[in-house]
Amino acid sequence: MIEARHLRVLRAVAATGSFSAAARELGCTQPAVSQQMKALEGAAGTPLLIRTGRETRLTEAGRALLRHATGILAGLAAAEEEVAAIAGLRAGRVRLVSFPSGSSTLVPMALAEMRAAHPGTRVSLVEAEPPGSVEMLRAGDCEIALAFRYPRVGADVEASGSGAEWDDLVLRPLLSDRLVGVVPEGHRLAGAGAVGIAELAGEPWIAGCPRCRGHLVEVCESVGFTPRIDFATDDYPAVIGLVGAGLGVAVLPELALESVRAKGATTLEVEPAVRREVVALTLPDLARVPAVAATLDRLERAARR
């Protein structure tokens, strides 16, 4: 096998015209140069040098290999520099996928800190709800996926983490996001402060993404009713707008309400209390990439704030 160190020796011998001069240039001994050249000729399967007295010349095969060696060594040097830049966070990219309420709250602060600390690292963002975002991560379409999951109905938040859904991934916990009720300002329960979700059994409902919608149905059925879902939308401002117009009630994560003006609507605590687990996910090998690790740290810091 031809190795880069052999090519460097070949280049030095061709440039200096002798083993001893090449050894001085490379900072090694003349026998070491001779040994490297023998190994290179063995790997090439043909003589590369012609030694006549004090003169050392390249054979036709040697000249051909030297032409390639120049490009190979230049490419290797460029590759080493690029890898060093990525490892040192002077370059590289991180593709981030997030659900909308994470995109509007956690992501901006985290990415602003990344840009300030490591301007050479590019972080891009696209939106997708779980489980689609997690599928993108496993398919190699991103390096980090922000996701969430709900506890099983009748189980606590800690018990919800015992499933195998993300067992093959590196999980960075971010926050526990409480769900709150949202009703029109003129609703009969608007001033109650806190209500049991069963008190909303006869209301028309506005539901969110498929995962959120499924969890809503589970919670309602656990207290004895199936919600009548009149509207379903992944757009949280649309949910607030529909509630504010008096078209129904909803349950939303507090994270979603941070970036939405609740015009015409008011929030309530609901029982049973539910919190969704918000996490950042990546693959085990990616977790060791400096740019990915730094982005995860910034997301965690943003969540603490």
Q: Is the bond preceding 131 in cis, omega lying within 30 degrees of 0?
A: yes
Specify which residues 170 forms β-bridges with: 282
Alpha carbons 135 and 186: distance in angstroms, whole number: 42
pLDDT at 94 over 50: yes
How do residues 24-43 score in pLDDT, each as one tens digit? Answer: 988 899 999 999 999 999 99
Cβ atoms within 10 Å of 144's Cβ, excluding its own: 27
Distance of CA 4 to CAs 31, 85, 250, Å? 18, 21, 65
At 159, is the pLDDT very low, low, confident or very high (cuts 50, 70, 90)?
very low
Distance of CA 9 to CAs 3, 24, 72, 78, 264, Å? 10, 11, 13, 19, 77
Average pLDDT rounded to a whole number, residues 153-179: 75
Cβ contacts of residue 69 below 8 Å, gap of 6+?
7, 10, 11
Alpha carbons 109 and 210: distance in angstroms, whole number: 27
Nearest to 69 by CA among 25, 19, 11: 11
How do residues 178-230 score in pLDDT, each as one tens digit? Answer: 999 999 999 999 989 899 999 999 999 999 888 899 999 999 999 999 999 99
Alpha carbons 65 and 63: distance in angstroms, whole number: 5
- Asked if 181 and 269 count as a contact pair (C-beta separation under 8 A), the reply is yes
Q: State the pLDDT at residue 234.
A: 85
At 163, is the pLDDT very low, low, confident or very high (cuts 50, 70, 90)?
low
User: Residue 50 corresponds to which tokens in the numbers above?
Assistant: 């012609």
Nearest to 147 by CA among 305, 297, 276, 288: 276
Tell the burial category of 68 from Cβ atoms under 10 Å away from its Cβ (0-12, 13-18, 19+). Answer: exposed
Average pLDDT rounded to a whole number, residues 288-293: 89
- Asked if 243 and 250 count as a contact pair (C-beta separation under 8 A), the reply is yes
Alpha carbons 281 and 146: distance in angstroms, whole number: 6
